């Protein structure tokens, strides 16, 4: 397990992934054994649980990032952007990092806006899932956050 993974586990956010039906009957239950349309974050699908967060939606990397909408136990929704890793000098630092990908909390900040702890912990847990899948997957279609910002391709899917 990488240093970040050990830190995430020490913080109590080991990425327990469940595709079991959610407790709330108003949420759709994922099909038993549903395959993720996004192998990078498999087995996660809308309706899955990632540790203490609910996955509400997953969107394709049409703008250079895979978008995951999650909700905290409080019910507030937030957006995570999975981008290609950028380890160059001055690159934005993501709360969730794997070897080839960075997981950013999309909070309309410019890098000086503090990340809400709950959302940052979810980004770390998602990076653990990615770490388990990334070795055999292509990074084609993914852009770094810097590339997305430079080309103005960053979009918000949650208010």
Write down the domain spans for the chain. Answer: 3-20+33-150
Residues paired with 50 in a beta bridge: 17, 53
pLDDT in tens, 111-150: 667 889 999 999 999 999 999 999 999 999 899 998 988 8
Cα dihedral: 140, 66, 128, 48 (round 10): -140
Cα→Cα distances 144→65, 72, 113, Å = 8, 26, 19
Burial of 118 (0-12, 13-18, 19+ CB in 10 A): middle
Look up the pTM and report it. 0.74
Predicted local distance difference test score (pLDDT) of residue 126: 98
**For residue 16, how many other CB atoms are within 10 A of its CB?**
10
Q: What rounded mean pLDDT belongs to the chain?
A: 78
Higher pLDDT, 47 or 62: 47
The region of weakest confidence among 94-98, 128-132, 154-158 is 154-158
Residue 15 has pLDDT above 80, yes or no: no
**For residue 120, how many other CB atoms are within 10 A of its CB?**
21
Interatomic CA distance for residues 134 and 88, integer angstroms: 20
Predicted local distance difference test score (pLDDT) of residue 5: 40
Predicted local distance difference test score (pLDDT) of residue 133: 96
DSSP state of 89: T
Predicted local distance difference test score (pLDDT) of residue 130: 97
Interatomic CA distance for residues 37 and 34, integer angstroms: 9
The region of weakest confidence among 51-55, 71-75, 84-88, 113-117 is 113-117
Cα→Cα distances 105→1, 29, 67, Å = 23, 26, 10
């Amino acid at each position: 397990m990488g240093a970040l993974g050990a830190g995430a586990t020490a913080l109590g956010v080991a990425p327990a992934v469940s595709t079991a039906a959610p407790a709330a009957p108003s949420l759709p239950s994922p099909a038993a054994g549903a395959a993720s349309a996004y192998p990078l974050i498999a087995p996660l699908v809308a309706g899955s649980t990632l540790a203490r967060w609910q996955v509400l939606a997953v969107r394709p990397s049409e703008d250079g990032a895979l978008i995951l909408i999650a909700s905290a136990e409080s019910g507030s929704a937030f957006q995570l952007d999975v981008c290609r890793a950028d380890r160059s000098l001055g690159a934005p630092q993501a709360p969730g990092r794997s070897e080839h990908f960075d997981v950013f909390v999309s909070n309309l900040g410019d890098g000086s806006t503090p990340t809400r702890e709950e959302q940052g912990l979810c980004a770390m847990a998602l990076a653990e899932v990615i770490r388990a899948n990334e070795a055999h997957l292509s990074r084609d279609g993914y852009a770094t956050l810097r590339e997305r910002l430079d080309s103005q391709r960053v979009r918000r899917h949650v208010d």
